[in-house]
Chains A and B, each alone.
Chain A
Amino acid sequence: QKEVEQDPGPLSVPEGAIVSLNCTYSNSAFQYFMWYRQYSRKGPELLMYTYSSGNKEDGRFTAQVDKSSKYISLFIRDSQPSDSATYLCAMTHNSGGSNYKLTFGKGTLLTVNP
């Protein structure tokens, strides 16, 4: 079983739709979770960062973590064509200390159609 599973898509939605992107993971020690957005031929940019379980909201984006189910989600409300990108989840189980590595999902390609 892979440590992090992410549906690669592609996912195509109309403008204004609510988008749900998801990752599952197997390592119960993960407690820091991130979402990155990567436009074509660009480096990933950090979108959301959450610690442990719960929700975090930033504008049209909401990150949700369910540690009991080992499941994280990113919701995009009122999706825009500019949201078209690949979304990568990432996670780690230490803050500083000796662990400097993130475990990434393979990314979901999202297209928002005008």
Chain B
Amino acid sequence: SQTIHQWPATLVQPVGSPLSLECTVEGTSNPNLYWYRQAAGRGLQLLFYSVGIGQISSEVPQNLSASRPQDRQFILSSKKLLLSDSGFYLCAWSVGGGLDTQYFGPGTRLTVL
């Protein structure tokens, strides 16, 4: 069966510090991968998605970036965090080239102070 991992679970960072969140998927090959941010009252906001290694599409211009160095690894980064980057970050995967049902990881709660 497929599993998706995210770490860390919780993170508190000062404004201006860098960020690196990691997501890995097990039990499937060539998945589509997604990064979302969930803020209170604003629903799920798609940040990036990837259909293959090195292929990243950005949905929202911001100071975040994403990379996919391996087939089942997806990384969300920032060089300098802003207060507005606080939120609940979710990684998700779906079957590559198949149904668009997405399966979510446990999330990372980021607080920028």
A binds B: yes
A residues sitting closer than 8 Å to B (CB atoms) are 8, 32, 34, 36, 41-46, 49, 88, 90, 92, 94-97, 99-102, 104-107
- Using A42-B107, A107-B43 as known contacts, say yes or no to A96 and B97 having CB atoms under 8 A apart: yes
Residues of A within 8 Å of B88, CB to CB, are 41
- Using A32-B99, A96-B99 as known contacts, say yes or no to A43 and B104 having CB atoms under 8 A apart: yes
Chain B interface residue bracket vs A: 20 to 34
Query: Is the contact region of chain A dominated by helix, strand, or loop, or is it mixed?
Result: loop
Contact with A along B77-113 (1 / 0, CB 8 A): 0000000000010101011011111111111010000
B99 lies within 8 A of A88 (CB): no
B103 lies within 8 A of A46 (CB): yes
B102 contact from A41, A99, A102, A105, Cβ within 8 A: A102
**Nearest opposing residue in chain A for B104, CB measure:** A43
A96 lies within 8 A of B100 (CB): yes
CB within 8 Å: A-B pair count: 60
A-B pairs, 5 with minimum CB distance: A43-B104, A106-B43, A104-B44, A92-B100, A43-B107
A–B pairs, 27, beta carbons within 8 Å: A8-B41, A32-B101, A34-B101, A36-B104, A42-B107, A43-B90, A43-B92, A43-B104, A45-B104, A46-B101, A49-B101, A94-B100, A95-B100, A96-B99, A97-B97, A100-B51, A100-B94, A100-B100, A101-B46, A101-B100, A102-B102, A104-B43, A104-B44, A105-B43, A106-B41, A106-B42, A107-B43
Does B49 sit at the interface, judged by CB under 8 A?
yes
13-49 of chain B: CB within 8 A of chain A:
32, 34, 41-44, 46, 49
